[in-house]
C-alpha cells in the first residue's frame, strides 16, 4: 500500500478535532501494516498540519488540547538524557532485552512509575516493544533466510581481505558473531582502492547494485585513502548503510553527509577516549603525566591529547609530528631499510630525553610496550603506563589500556540496517561508542 493510500485510510477513519489517535504500533496493527509505514504516514500528516505530535502525550487529530506543564515532565527529560547516554556507552544495546524497570529506576534515581511511563511512551512511538514486563527495541523489518548484509573492507587485487590489526580482527569476529545471533547472513566483499573495484573471495569482480535480498551495507573505511571514491559506488543505493569511520568526524564526504540512511561510527578517533583516560587518572589521584606519541601528525593522536586536557589532566606532551599512524612509521622504516621496532625505539629515545616524570599515557599499546622495554634496557624503575587499544601486548606486559567499544559499534551498525527509521529518530549521524580503561594487575 502506498503512503498516500495509508494517509487516506487514516483521514477517512473519522477522527474528531483534538481527539487522541492510536499509537503508531496500534495503528499498524489495525491497518495490518508495518510500524515504519505508519510512522512515515504520521510524519507526513504532521507536516501537512492534519495531526499534532505532542512529545510525551502522543498524536492528536487537528488541534492538540492544551496540557498543563508539570514539574514531573522535567524528570522525563532527565531520564531521556540518561537513556541516550546508556545507548551511547553500550550499557543498552539494540538486540538485548532492556534491564528491568527496577534496575533502571535505581540507575536513574527515579521512581518505578516514571521509568514504566517513559518506556511505555517509547513503545507508543514504535521505538520499543514490550512482552509482559520485558522491553526490547523494535524490529522494523523482518529478516528472512534469503536476506543478507554486505560487509565491505579493503582487499588486495585478488579479493583477499586485508586484516592487519587487532581492531580489524575484533570488528570482523564481532560482526559475524552478532549477525549469526540475529540469524542474518553476511557477504564479505573486498574493495581494492587502487583499481576502484570490488571482489568476491573467489577473486571474481563484484558489482554494487540494489538487491531486494540485501538488507544494507557495512562499509569499512579502515586505511581507505579516498572514502568519497568508495562512497560514490553507493550513491544510489536504496537500503541503509552503516560506516565504520576512522577519520575526523568533520570530514565526512558531502556525498554521504546528513543522509538518514547513512550512519557513521567513529569508534576510536574522537577525543572521548582521552577524556575517559583522564578521568580514570584523576580517580587514581595520579599526578602530572607525559603524553607520549610518535604519531602526532594524526588527528586521532591530537584528539586523545585534547581529551586528556579537557578532563583536567596535568599533561606534558612528548610528541613527534612526522608520522600519522603505526602504518606510516612502518612504511618509513621499510624505506630506510631498518626494522620498524628499531625506528620506533630511536624516536622514543629522542623524545624521552625531555622526560621528567615516571607516569605516561601512550598513544597506543605498541608505544606503551616499547616504553616499558626501554626502561628495562636502561635498568630504570618501571614507569606507570596507560595505553590505548587493549591489545594482547597490554596483557603480556601488564599495563592498563583503553578498550574501544567495538561490540556496541557493531550492534548499533547492524540495528541501523534492520531498523533505519527508528534508529534515525533516536540517534545522531555520527556515533562514538564509549569504551573504558581495562586495569591489569
Sorting pLDDT into bands at 50, 70 and 90, what band is 50? Answer: confident
> In whole numbers, what is the pLDDT of the chain averaged over residues?
89
pLDDT above 90 coverage of the chain, percent: 57
Averaged over 283-287, what is the pLDDT?
Answer: 90
CA–CA gap between residue 400 and residue 438 (Å, rounded) = 6
Task: Report how far residue 296's alpha carbon sits from residue 314's, in angstroms, rounded to the nearest whole number.
Answer: 19
Q: What span, in angstroms and rounded, lies between the C-alpha atoms of 243 and 141?
A: 20
pLDDT: which is higher, 272 or 352: 352
Residue 411 has phi, psi (to 5 degrees) of -60, -45
Q: Identify the weakest region by mean pLDDT among 31-35, 189-193, 272-276.
A: 31-35
Given a contact cutoff of 8 angstroms between Cβ atoms, the answer to whether 436 and 276 are in contact is yes
Give 395 or 212, the one with higher predicted confidence.
395
**pLDDT band (50, 70, 90) for residue 170:** very high
Mean pLDDT of 198-222: 93
Contact assessment for residue 393 and residue 368, using Cβ atoms and an 8 Å cutoff: yes
CA distances from 337 to 292, 346, 347 (A): 25, 14, 16
C-alpha to C-alpha distance for 172 and 155, rounded to whole angstroms: 14
Q: Would you say 267 and 432 are in contact if contact means Cβ atoms under 8 Å apart?
A: yes
Cell of 57: 502525550
Residue 1's pLDDT is: 55
CATH code, 148-268+407-434:
3.40.50.2300
Q: Residue 130 pLDDT > 60, yes or no?
A: yes
Tell me: pLDDT of 143 over 80: yes
Q: What is the pLDDT of residue 330?
A: 94
Question: Span 272-403: which CATH code?
Answer: 3.40.50.2300
Q: Which residue has the cell 548499533?
A: 412
Residue 102's Cβ-side half-sphere holds a number of Cα atoms within 13 Å equal to 1
Please indicate whether the domains covering 148-268+407-434 and 272-403 agree at the CATH topology level: yes
CB 271 within 8 Å of CB 301: no
Q: Are the C-beta atoms of 401 and 408 separated by less than 8 Å?
A: no
pLDDT band at 57 (very low <50, low <70, confident <90, very high): confident
Angle at the Cα of 31 from the Cα atoms of 216 and 5, rounded to 5 degrees: 75
Q: How far is CA 62 from the centre of its chain?
A: 39
Q: How far apart are CA 184 and CA 234, in angstroms?
A: 21
Q: Is 373 exposed, middle or buried (0-12, 13-18, 19+ CB in 10 A)?
A: middle
The confidence score (pLDDT) of residue 307 equals 95
pLDDT of residue 67: 60
**Is residue 180 exposed (0-12), middle (13-18) or buried (19+ Cβ within 10 Å)?**
exposed
Q: Which of 153, 297, 137 is closest to 220 using CA atoms? A: 153
Tell me: pLDDT of 269 over 80: no
Contact predicate 394/387, CB 8 Å: yes
pLDDT of residue 427: 66
pLDDT band at 127 (very low <50, low <70, confident <90, very high): confident
What is the biggest distance separating any 2 CA atoms in the chain, rounded to whole angstroms? Answer: 85
Q: pLDDT digit string (tens) for 337-369?
A: 999 999 999 999 999 999 999 999 999 999 999
The CA angle 217-421-239, to the nearest 5 degrees, is 30
Angstrom CA distances, 222 to 82, 155, 160, 294, 315, stand at 31, 11, 15, 20, 29
**What is the distance, to the nearest Å, from the Cα of residue 9 to the centroid of all Cα atoms in its chain?**
38
Domain borders along the chain are 3-61, 74-137, 148-268+407-434, 272-403
CA 128, distance to chain mean position in Å, is 20
Query: Alpha helix locations (H) across 316-396?
Result: 326-336, 340-352, 365-377, 392-396
Percent of the chain residues topping a pLDDT of 70? 95
C-alpha 72/C-alpha 360 separation (Å) is: 47
pLDDT band at residue 150 using 50, 70 and 90 as cut-offs: very high
DSSP state of 358: S
Question: By the 8 A CB rule, do 48 and 38 touch?
Answer: no
Contact between 265 and 417 (Cβ < 8 Å): no
Query: What is the band of 58 on the pLDDT scale with cuts at 50, 70, 90?
Result: confident
Element (H, E) at 299: helix 299-310
Residue 425: pLDDT above 70? no
Mean of pLDDT values over 95-99? 87
Return the higher-pLDDT residue of 433 and 101: 101
Q: According to CATH, what is the number of the domain 74-137?
A: 1.10.10.10
What are the C-alpha distances in Å from 422 to residues 36, 119, 134, 383?
8, 15, 19, 48
Nearest to 364 by CA among 224, 89, 164, 165: 165
- CATH domain 3-61 topology: Arc Repressor Mutant, subunit A (1.10.10)
Amino acid at each position: 500500500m502506498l503512503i498516500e493510500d495509508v494517509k487516506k485510510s487514516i483521514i477517512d477513519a473519522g477522527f474528531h478535532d483534538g481527539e487522541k489517535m492510536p499509537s503508531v504500533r496500534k495503528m499498524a496493527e489495525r491497518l495490518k501494516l508495518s510500524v515504519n509505514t505508519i510512522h512515515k504516514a504520521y510524519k507526513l500528516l504532521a507536516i501537512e498540519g492534519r495531526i499534532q505530535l505532542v512529545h510525551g502525550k502522543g498524536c492528536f487529530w487537528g488541534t492538540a488540547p492544551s496540557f498543563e506543564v508539570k514539574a514531573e515532565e522535567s524528570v522525563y527529560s532527565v531520564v531521556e538524557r540518561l537513556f541516550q547516554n546508556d545507548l551511547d556507552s553500550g550499557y543498552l544495546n539494540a538486540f538485548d532485552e532492556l534491564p528491568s524497570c527496577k534496575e533502571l529506576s535505581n540507575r536513574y534515581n527515579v521512581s518505578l512509575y516514571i521509568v514504566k511511563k517513559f518506556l511505555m511512551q517509547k513503545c507508543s512511538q514504535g521505538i520499543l516493544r514490550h512482552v509482559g514486563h520485558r522491553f526490547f527495541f523494535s524490529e522494523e523489518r523482518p529478516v528472512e533466510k534469503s536476506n543478507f548484509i554486505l560487509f565491505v573492507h579493503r582487499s588486495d587485487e585478488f579479493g583477499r581481505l586485508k586484516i592487519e590489526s587487532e581492531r580489524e580482527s575484533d570488528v570482523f569476529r564481532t560482526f559475524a558473531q552478532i549477525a549469526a545471533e540475529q540469524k542474518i547472513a553476511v557477504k564479505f566483499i573486498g574493495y581494492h582502492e587502487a583499481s576502484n573495484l570490488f571482489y568476491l573471495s573467489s577473486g571474481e569482480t563484484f558489482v554494487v547494485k540494489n538487491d531486494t535480498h540485501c538488507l544494507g551495507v557495512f562499509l569499512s573505511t579502515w586505511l581507505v585513502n579516498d572514502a568519497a571514491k568508495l562512497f560514490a559506488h553507493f550513491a544510489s543505493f536504496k537500503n541503509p548503510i552503516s560506516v565504520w569511520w576512522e577519520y575526523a568526524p568533520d570530514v565526512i564526504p558531502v556525498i554521504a553527509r546528513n543522509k538518514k540512511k547513512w550512519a557513521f561510527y567513529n569508534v576510536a578517533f574522537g577525543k572521548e577516549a582521552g577524556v575517559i583516560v583522564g578521568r580514570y587518572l584523576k580517580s587514581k589521584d595520579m599526578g602530572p603525566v607525559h603524553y607520549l606519541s610518535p604519531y602526532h601528525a594524526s588527528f586521532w593522536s591530537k584528539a586523545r591529547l585534547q581529551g586528556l586536557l579537557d578532563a583536567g589532566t596535568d599533561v606534558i606532551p612528548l610528541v613527534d609530528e612526522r608520522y600519522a599512524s603505526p602504518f606510516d612509521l612502518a612504511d618509513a622504516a621499510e624505506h630506510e631499510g631498518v626494522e620498524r621496532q628499531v625506528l620506533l625505539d630511536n624516536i622514543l629515545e629522542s623524545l624521552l630525553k625531555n622526560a621528567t616524570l615516571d607516569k605516561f599515557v601512550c598513544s597506543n599499546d605498541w608505544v606503551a610496550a616499547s616504553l616499558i622495554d626501554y626502561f628495562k634496557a636502561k635498568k630504570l624503575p618501571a614507569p606507570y603506563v596507560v595505553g590505548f587499544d587493549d591489545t594482547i601486548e597490554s596483557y603480556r606486559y601488564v599495563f592498563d589500556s583503553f578498550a574501544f567499544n567495538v561490540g556496541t559499534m557493531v550492534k548499533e551498525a547492524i540495528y541501523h540496517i534492520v531498523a533505519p527509521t527508528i534508529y534515525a529518530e533516536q540517534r545522531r549521524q555520527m556515533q562514538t561508542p564509549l569504551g573504558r580503561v581495562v586495569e591489569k594487575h
